[in-house]
A = this chain, B = another copy of it.
Amino acid sequence: MDDQRKKEWLEQRRKHLSRNPDELAKGIISGDKVALSRGLTLVESTRRDDHEQALEMLDKIRSNPGKSVRIGITGVPGVGKSTFIEAFGQELVENGKKVAVLAIDPSSERSGGSILGDKTRMNNLALMPEVFIRPTASGGSLGGVAKRTRESILLCEAAGYDVIIIETVGVGQSETMVKEMVDFFLLLMLAGAGDELQGIKRGIMEMADALVITKADGENEMNARRARNEYKNAMHLFPPNQNSWIPKAMTCSSYTNTGISEIWDVIETFVNQMTISGYLEKNRLDQEVFWFRETLKEMLIDNFHQTEGISQRVSQIEKSLHSGKGNAFADAKAVMNFYIAQLKDAKN
């Protein structure tokens, strides 16, 4: 490498490492993965000056919104999410799609496991130039995670990804959040209910646009089909969706690569139908309003909890309520009065 080329290379490198919002936005829009990666880091940062730069960058990429299908994928640990996404992602690439995978990992609080933490689980997919995989750093409030994830989606879309997959574990509250930021919600399940189901939260089944029984291969194939039929009947009994989509029940094997392309067919059908009916756009705009309201609520509640003396009072009251003392409404009113007094005092 001669001096001139070396200099250019270093310059290029420096630019990549730059946090200049304008350069990052340009890099992202040009499809530069390093810029995208740095942009995501900026979005995830909790530092105040990073936050301002992130806003500036987001503002700039809005000129290039991109069009994508946003797919939420959830399921308990052990259902085979990573191998499914590995197979499904390759199917998408073969269909000419650029694919981004973002993961929301609430494991720190709950399951003790880690989604995508072990990147080797998506070895082949991760190596494809058409694919971008990001194990989203989680932690913090649900609202904080939601904000970062939604901003990450925007960055990936600006970078030209056609399909954005949001992966989460179906055990906490995060899947409700994911449902509110995707176009299509896919629930992975295992055949042979019982124990494996213990982890899934009630109410998730009714959120799914499609339910896929994984590991439908070898000896398990019959079981998987039986389970698929049972769920198919069950889902038919659910109240209809607002968009009149009847949730599908399917089987797949990531191992034998069976049923994977059928899942993409279903999603494409869904997207086509919902584009024609206008539901897809309506849903996204509704989601935007939803997040505006949620964010406001969370900010109000944060401001409340950060007020001096509130936390102790609240946890004290909850403790006595748990031991059968007190009155939920009267106690809430007392805390509220204290809060307002504190706000006024803070001014003096």
Rounded to whole Å, the gap between the CB of A196 and the closest CB of chain B is: 10
The answer to whether B239 touches A335, judged by C-beta atoms less than 8 angstroms apart, is no
By the criterion of a CB under 8 Å from any partner CB, how many residues of chain A are at the interface? 64
A 315-334 contacts with B by CB, 8 A: 317-318, 321-324, 326-333
Which of the 9-residue segments A97-105, A117-125, A336-344 touches chain B?
A336-344
Chain B residues lying within 8 Å of A231, measured Cβ to Cβ, are 237
In the assembled complex, A114 has its CB within 8 A of some CB on chain B = no
Say if the beta carbon of A177 comes within 8 Å of chain B: no
Query: Is A7 located at the chain interface by the 8 A CB criterion?
Result: no
Contacting residues of chain A (280-297) with chain B, CB-CB under 8 angstroms: 285-286, 288-289, 291-292, 295-297
Q: Nearest chain B CB to A45's CB is how many angstroms away?
A: 15
Chain copies in complex: 2
The answer to whether A317 and B333 touch (CB under 8 A), given A206-B206, A231-B237, A239-B198, is no
30 A-B pairs with CB atoms under 8 Å apart are A55-B330, A150-B328, A197-B239, A197-B240, A199-B239, A200-B239, A202-B206, A202-B238, A205-B239, A233-B233, A234-B237, A285-B321, A285-B323, A286-B322, A288-B321, A288-B322, A288-B326, A289-B322, A291-B329, A291-B332, A292-B328, A292-B332, A295-B328, A296-B304, A296-B332, A299-B336, A300-B339, A303-B340, A347-B347, A347-B348
